[in-house]
C-alpha cells in the first residue's frame, strides 16, 4: 500500500527517498524516515500542532510509565481484529502507535502507519520507532486510499467521521480513546475557577456501529516534576500562570479517565 496525494488523490510511489504521483507532485523523505504530506495551503499556522515544549513534557511523562492501563486495554481489543494495515492518528510522538505495532507483529504480518499534524512530533517518532511508517498529515484529510485500512486507532484526536469511514475496510475496526467526565479534574481545578466536566455521552460516528465500549479510570500519584509535565502537555497550560509549573500547589494525585 502507498500513500495518497492530497493534491490530486492519486497514489504516491516511493523512489530514491521521494514520494511522487502521476501528476508529478513530489514529497521528499526526511533523513529520519518520515514524509511530510501536509500541503502549505492546508496549514493554519507556520507550525501547526503541539509545541516542542508540549511534546517534550509528554515524552517525559510517557517514558515514566504512567499510562500502562490504556495500553493494555486498547491493544487487547485491537490485536484480535487487525490483520494487515493499521493506522494511529495523533500518535503522541509515536508512543501508542509503536506499542500497537509491537503487539500486533507478534501474531500478524502488519504494516503500521502513524500520523500527526505536528512536524516536530513526527520527526521524533520516526527517529525513535523505525518499524512504523510515519507522515505529517491532517486528521481531516487522511493520506490513504479508500478502504485501505484494517484498523484505525484514534486517541484524543478530532477527526471527520466520513474521512475515517472512507479509509477503513468493510469489517474493519475503529478504536477511539476519549476523556471521561472527570478526566484530570484535580489538575483543571488548579487552573480554572469553575471546572467543566467532559461530556460523558457516547458519541456515535456515522458509518460505524459500536461493537464494545469500556470505561477506564485510575488515580496516578505524581512527583512535582511529573505533575508539571502533565500540566505542560495539556491545553490547560495556556491558561495556567507560569509559576504553576514548579509550584508545590500542583496536585500529587490525579484521576485519569
Sole residue written with cell 491493544: 75
Q: Which segment of 28-32, 77-81, 87-91 scores lowest on mean pLDDT?
A: 77-81
Query: In angstroms, rounded to a whole number, what is the distance separating the alpha carbons of residues 167 and 146?
Result: 5
The per-residue pLDDT of the chain, averaged, comes to 81
Give mean pLDDT, residues 229-246: 71
**In percent, how much of the chain has pLDDT > 90?**
26
Q: Measured between alpha carbons, how far is residue 218 from residues 41, 60, 157, 191 in Å? A: 42, 20, 21, 21
Among 45-54, 163-172, 174-183, which is the least confidently predicted range? 45-54
- Mean pLDDT value of segment 48-75: 75
pLDDT at 72 exceeding the cut of 80:
no
From 238, 226, 231, 216, select the one nearest 77 (Cα to Cα): 216
Is the overall model pTM greater than 0.75, yes or no?
A: yes
Is the pLDDT assigned to residue 167 strictly greater than 90? yes
Is residue 249 over pLDDT 70?
no
* pLDDT per position as a tens digit, 174-207: 988 888 888 888 888 888 888 888 876 777 888 8
Phi, psi dihedral angles at 250 (to 5 degrees): -65, 140
**For every residue of the chain, which 3-state class applies, written as one string?**
CCCECCCCCCECEECCCEEECCCCCEEEECCCCCEECCCHHHCCCCCCCCCHHHHHHHHHHHHCCCCHHHHHHHHHHHCCCCCCEEEEECCCCCHHHHHHHHHHCCCCCCEEEEEECCHHHHHHHHHHCCCCEEEECCCCCCCCCCCCEEEEEEECCCCCHHHHHHHEEEEEEEEEECCCCCCCHHHHHCCCCCCCCCCCCCCCCCCCCCCCCCCCCEEEECCHHHHHHHHHCCHHHHCCCHHHHHCCCCCCEEEEC
140-158 pLDDT, tens digit each: 889 999 999 998 988 888 7
End-to-end CA distance of the chain: 36
Amino acid at each position: 500500500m502507498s500513500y495518497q496525494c492530497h493534491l490530486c488523490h492519486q497514489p504516491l510511489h516511493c523512489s530514491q527517498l521521494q514520494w511522487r504521483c502521476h501528476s508529478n507532485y513530489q514529497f521528499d523523505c526526511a533523513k529520519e524516515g518520515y514524509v511530510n504530506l501536509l500541503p502549505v495551503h492546508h496549514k493554519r499556522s507556520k507550525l501547526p500542532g503541539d509545541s516542542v515544549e508540549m511534546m517534550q513534557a509528554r515524552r517525559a511523562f510517557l517514558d515514566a510509565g504512567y499510562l500502562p492501563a490504556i495500553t493494555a486495554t486498547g491493544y487487547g481489543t485491537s490485536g484480535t481484529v487487525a490483520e494487515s494495515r493499521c493506522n494511529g492518528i495523533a500518535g503522541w510522538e509515536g508512543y501508542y502507535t509503536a506499542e500497537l505495532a509491537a503487539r500486533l507483529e507478534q501474531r500478524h504480518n502488519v504494516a503500521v502507519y502513524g500520523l500527526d499534524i505536528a512536524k516536530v512530533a513526527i520527526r521524533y517518532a520516526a527517529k525513535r520507532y523505525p518499524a512504523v511508517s510515519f507522515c505529517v498529515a491532517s486528521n481531516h484529510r487522511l493520506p490513504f486510499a479508500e478502504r485501505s485500512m484494517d484498523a484505525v486507532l484514534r486517541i484524543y484526536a478530532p477527526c471527520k467521521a466520513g474521512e475515517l469511514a472512507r479509509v477503513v475496510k468493510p469489517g474493519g475496526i475503529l478504536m477511539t480513546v476519549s476523556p471521561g467526565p472527570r478526566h484530570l479534574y484535580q489538575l483543571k481545578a488548579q487552573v480554572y475557577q469553575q471546572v467543566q466536566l467532559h461530556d460523558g455521552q457516547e458519541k456515535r460516528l456515522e458509518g460505524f456501529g459500536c461493537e464494545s465500549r469500556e470505561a477506564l479510570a485510575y488515580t496516578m500519584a505524581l512527583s512535582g516534576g511529573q505533575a508539571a509535565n502533565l500540566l505542560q502537555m495539556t491545553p490547560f497550560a495556556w491558561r495556567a500562570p507560569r509559576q504553576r509549573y514548579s509550584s508545590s500547589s500542583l496536585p500529587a494525585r490525579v484521576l485519569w479517565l
